[in-house]
Each structure stands twice: as structure tokens, then as C-alpha cells.
């Protein structure tokens, strides 16, 4: 990686130390240009006209996202965030009372409240697969939990609150072996490591644009396995998702765009496409190696700070680092750091309540370096914390 070139291609690096790619990463210049150019075109010739003129480029975003995840363009729905993507898949699944959904201890709050809604509304049962002593989902235990009533395995690959990497592909093997659909929340994984839906063995995969992919805020996508699409009735449709073919009849689109609707932020979508291509050009393996290496440096440095405790779980740890410092309030300290030009975040126990309760976690610090960060920036954070 040519770090100098990458940093000069990232205007945000000149304005402070940004170590929060798990929140919303710094966009690269070509991404910013794509968004602004599309907006300028809308200003100059009108929104519909800009869309028509840029149609090929905007269609190409589906190809880019498909390449990113190892799927096909007709299996991609472009939506406004990861939660919409995940919900479009989850709420399309027709559960009966007593049907079981199995999830993980690291499950994200947005997903869990959706389970609870369907517990209340549809009478489903949510079961949580236990974790191994190191903290990732125990795939043997998952395997043993499966019976005829299990209608979905839905897990978070990388949780919002730390460096844990769940064994997503092994979970996929269990799902395949039992013929159970598998919905994978890849929100925190996309853009920091390779993603391959065939290797993962999942049926649905959701992700956001603004985190490690370095896309604009307000972008996300869903991948749906092609064979399943025609059987899925999206929870919300419009006359883009389905043709109104006769007064009392509609026909859903054959592709994954049945999970989209008609109006979209095309400038942001253009930016997402460029962000995905940018990551693909750099190589996800290369990105992973550098970002994870910087996170490892941060964890090592934290272990030398009095009272600091790294809280990341699992055998394998990614570019998200969660930690506490005895007697220090993360929310107040994060605000002070930000005022001093260093951006990290705080993570609330309520966003991963199962894990937080099991480990009695307080509010924690969350830092997430990306490949464009330098070792010196990580060390500056460590100095500030010390």
C-alpha cells in the first residue's frame, strides 16, 4: 500500500486523527467526487435527467457490490442502510407460531428488537446459541440445537461492540447441513475483510456503506441467494418492486430489486459504487492485513496502560477494539478526545444487550483504525489515553 498516496486521497486525514471506521469511516476523494458530481448534475439538468444520463454508471453499482460479495448483480438490492437491508430479508420470511430463530450472543440491537416484535406478533421463539469460552458462537452447540422447528439462523458476523469475528462460514456449513436459511449481518465486516457468499454459505447478507467500505452515509445493500428470491414477498412493496399489471393484480420483480423502492438517493449510490471499486482495487486481503495490524498495535498498547482492559472476544480479532479504563467515563473522555482532534467512540451495552449482560459490560470505548491510519495515529491515541 502506498500510504502517502492513500492519505492524500483521503481529505479527512488532514483534519485530525480519525480512528472510528466502525462508526463512519473517512471517504476517499473519488467517492466524494462521485457524490458531488452527481449532485451537480442534478442541479444543472434536474434529478430525473441526471439519473437518465448516468444510468450505466448507476447500474454498474450492482455489479460492483456483486463482485464485492461474490454474488450476481440480480441478487443485490441497494437500500439506505444495513438495517433496512436486514429487515427486508427478515420480515419477508413467513414464520408460523412456534417457529424457532437461532441467533448469537453478539447479536445487534436492531436485529434483536425485530425478533422480539415477531415473538409478540407471530409467536416465534428466539433461541440464542451459546458461545465458546473464547467468546465466538459455538457451532457444535448450534448444530445440536437444530430441529424441525428452526426456520432461520440469523447471526452477526462482527458485532458492533468489539473485535470478535464469529465463525460465519462454519455457521453456514451447519445451516446448509440442516437446510435452514441463514441470514448474515455483515455490516461491520464489509470493507475490512474479504466477503464471499459462497464460502459463507449464507442465503441473505446485509451491510452498510458508511463503515469500513468508506462509502457515503445513507447507503447499504442486501444480497439474496438467487434461488430464493421468487419465493419471497417483501414486507413493503411499491410499483417499482412490483408491476401493477391489472387493477387487482401485481407481479413482483424477479430480481432482488423487489426489496427496493422507486425513489433513491442516486448521488449517494454513485458514491457507494466508487467506494466498493476502491476497496476492490486495493484488495480486501491487503486492507484486512493492515487494518487488523493497526488494531493489534492498539490492543498491545492498551495492555500497558494502567487500569485499561481490552474487552474483545474470540480467537480471531478484527479492526474494532473495545476497552474500558478503570474510573474513566468513556462518553466524557470520547468528547474530550474529539475536541482534541482524536475521534473514537463509545459503545452502549444496550446495542448488544445479550453479550453486555452475560459479561456485565459497562459503557466501553470503541476505536477502529482503517488501513489509511498510521502507526503514529494509533500511538497518539495511546498517549492521549495514558
Give least dist CB 76 to ligand PLP, A.
Answer: 16
Choose among 344, 306, 312: nearest CA to 325.
306
Quick count: other Cβ atoms within 10 Å of Cβ 33?
14
Q: 14: which residues sit within 8 A by CB, 6+ positions away?
A: none
The nearer residue to ligand PLP, 185 or 277, going by C-beta atoms, is 185
Give least dist CB 82 to ligand PLP, A.
Answer: 3
Give least dist CB 96 to ligand PLP, A.
Answer: 27
- Where in 43-102 is the site for ligand PLP (CB under 6 A)? 81-83
The nearer residue to ligand PLP, 23 or 226, going by C-beta atoms, is 23
The nearer residue to ligand PLP, 54 or 105, going by C-beta atoms, is 105
Distance CA 362, CA 365 (A): 10
Distance CA 113, CA 8 (A): 41
The nearer residue to ligand PLP, 79 or 378, going by C-beta atoms, is 79
Choose among 6, 44, 76, 30: nearest CA to 270.
30
Binding pattern for the stretch 206-225 against ligand PLP, x by CB under 6 A and - elsewhere:
--x-----------x-----
Cell readout for 330 is 468513556
Give least dist CB 315 to ligand PLP, A.
Answer: 19
- The reply to whether 159 sits near ligand PLP by the rule CB under 6 A is yes
Distance CA 106, CA 172 (A): 17
- The reply to whether 192 sits near ligand PLP by the rule CB under 6 A is no
- The reply to whether 155 sits near ligand PLP by the rule CB under 6 A is no
Instruction: Determine the distance from the C-alpha atom of residue 282 to the mean position of all C-alpha atoms in its chain, rounded to a whole number.
Output: 19
Give least dist CB 345 to ligand PLP, A.
Answer: 10
- Where in 250-269 is the site for ligand PLP (CB under 6 A)? none
- The reply to whether 156 sits near ligand PLP by the rule CB under 6 A is yes
Cell readout for 336 is 474530550
Find the binder of ligand PLP among 131, 155, 160, 166 (CB under 6 A). Answer: 160
The nearer residue to ligand PLP, 213 or 342, going by C-beta atoms, is 213
- The reply to whether 108 sits near ligand PLP by the rule CB under 6 A is yes
Contact criterion met (CB below 8 Å) for 62 and 78: yes
- The reply to whether 110 sits near ligand PLP by the rule CB under 6 A is yes
Give least dist CB 128 to ligand PLP, A.
Answer: 16
Q: 108: which residues sit within 8 A by CB, 6+ positions away?
A: 156, 159, 160, 185, 187, 351, 352
Give least dist CB 190 to ligand PLP, A.
Answer: 10
Distance CA 381, CA 386 (A): 9
Q: Which stretch binds ligand PLP (CB under 6 A): 65-73, 132-140, 163-171, 180-188?
A: 180-188
The nearer residue to ligand PLP, 77 or 382, going by C-beta atoms, is 77
Give least dist CB 63 to ligand PLP, A.
Answer: 22
Distance CA 375, CA 296 (A): 11
Q: 15: which residues sit within 8 A by CB, 6+ positions away?
A: none
- The reply to whether 188 sits near ligand PLP by the rule CB under 6 A is yes
- The reply to whether 187 sits near ligand PLP by the rule CB under 6 A is yes
Alpha helix (H) residue ranges in the chain: 3-8, 21-24, 29-45, 47-53, 55-69, 82-90, 109-122, 139-145, 168-178, 197-200, 226-229, 266-282, 284-302, 330-339, 353-359, 375-385
Contact criterion met (CB below 8 Å) for 277 and 63: no
Contact criterion met (CB below 8 Å) for 258 and 232: yes
- The reply to whether 301 sits near ligand PLP by the rule CB under 6 A is no
- The reply to whether 345 sits near ligand PLP by the rule CB under 6 A is no
Report the run of H or E that residue 317 belongs to, with start and end: none
Contact criterion met (CB below 8 Å) for 206 and 186: yes
Binding pattern for the stretch 116-145 against ligand PLP, x by CB under 6 A and - elsewhere:
------------------------------
Give least dist CB 319 to ligand PLP, A.
Answer: 13
- The reply to whether 322 sits near ligand PLP by the rule CB under 6 A is no
Give least dist CB 198 to ligand PLP, A.
Answer: 22
What is the contact surface with ligand PLP in residues (CB under 6 A)? 81-83, 108, 110, 156, 159-160, 185, 187-188, 208, 220
Amino acid at each position: 500500500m502506498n500510504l502517502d498516496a492513500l492519505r492524500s486521497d483521503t481529505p479527512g486525514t488532514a483534519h485530525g486523527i480519525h480512528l472510528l471506521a466502525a462508526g463512519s469511516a473517512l471517504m476517499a476523494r473519488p467517492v466524494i467526487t462521485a457524490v458531488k458530481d452527481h449532485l451537480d448534475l442534478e442541479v444543472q439538468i434536474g434529478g430525473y435527467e441526471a439519473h437518465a444520463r448516468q444510468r450505466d454508471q448507476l447500474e454498474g453499482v450492482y455489479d460492483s457490490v456483486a463482485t464485492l460479495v461474490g454474488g450476481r448483480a440480480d441478487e443485490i438490492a441497494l437500500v439506505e442502510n444495513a438495517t433496512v437491508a436486514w429487515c427486508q430479508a427478515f420480515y419477508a420470511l413467513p414464520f408460523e407460531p412456534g417457529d424457532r430463530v437461532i441467533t448469537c450472543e453478539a447479536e445487534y440491537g436492531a436485529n434483536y428488537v425485530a425478533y422480539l416484535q415477531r415473538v409478540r406478533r407471530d409467536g416465534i421463539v428466539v433461541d440464542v446459541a451459546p458461545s465458546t469460552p473464547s467468546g465466538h458462537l459455538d457451532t457444535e452447540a448450534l448444530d445440536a440445537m437444530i430441529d424441525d422447528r428452526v426456520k432461520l439462523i440469523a447471526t452477526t458476523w462482527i458485532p458492533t461492540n468489539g473485535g470478535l469475528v464469529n465463525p460465519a462460514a462454519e455457521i453456514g456449513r451447519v445451516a446448509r447441513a440442516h437446510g435452514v436459511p441463514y441470514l448474515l449481518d455483515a455490516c461491520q465486516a464489509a470493507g475490512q475483510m474479504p466477503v464471499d457468499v459462497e464460502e459463507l454459505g449464507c442465503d441473505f447478507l446485509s451491510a452498510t456503506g458508511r463503515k469500513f467500505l468508506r462509502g457515503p452515509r445513507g447507503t447499504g445493500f442486501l444480497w439474496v441467494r438467487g434461488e430464493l428470491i421468487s419465493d419471497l414477498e417483501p414486507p413493503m412493496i411499491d410499483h417499482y418492486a412490483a408491476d401493477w399489471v391489472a387493477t387487482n393484480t401485481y407481479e413482483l420483480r424477479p430480481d432482488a430489486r423487489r426489496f427496493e423502492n422507486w425513489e433513491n438517493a442516486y448521488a449517494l449510490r454513485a458514491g457507494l459504487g466508487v467506494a466498493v471499486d476502491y476497496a476492490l482495487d486495493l484488495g480486501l486481503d491487503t486492507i484486512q492485513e493492515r487494518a487488523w495490524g493497526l488494531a493489534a498495535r492498539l490492543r498491545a498498547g492498551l495492555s500497558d496502560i494502567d487500569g485499561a482492559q481490552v474487552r474483545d472476544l474470540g480467537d480471531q480479532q478484527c479492526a474494532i477494539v473495545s476497552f474500558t479504563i478503570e474510573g474513566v467515563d468513556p462518553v466524557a473522555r470520547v468528547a474530550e478526545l474529539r475536541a482534541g482532534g482524536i475521534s473514537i467512540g463509545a459503545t452502549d451495552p444496550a446495542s448488544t444487550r445479550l453479550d453486555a449482560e452475560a459479561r456485565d459490560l459497562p459503557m466501553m470505548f470503541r476505536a477502529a483504525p482503517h488501513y489509511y491510519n498510521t502507526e503514529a495515529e494509533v500511538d497518539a491515541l495511546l498517549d492521549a489515553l495514558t
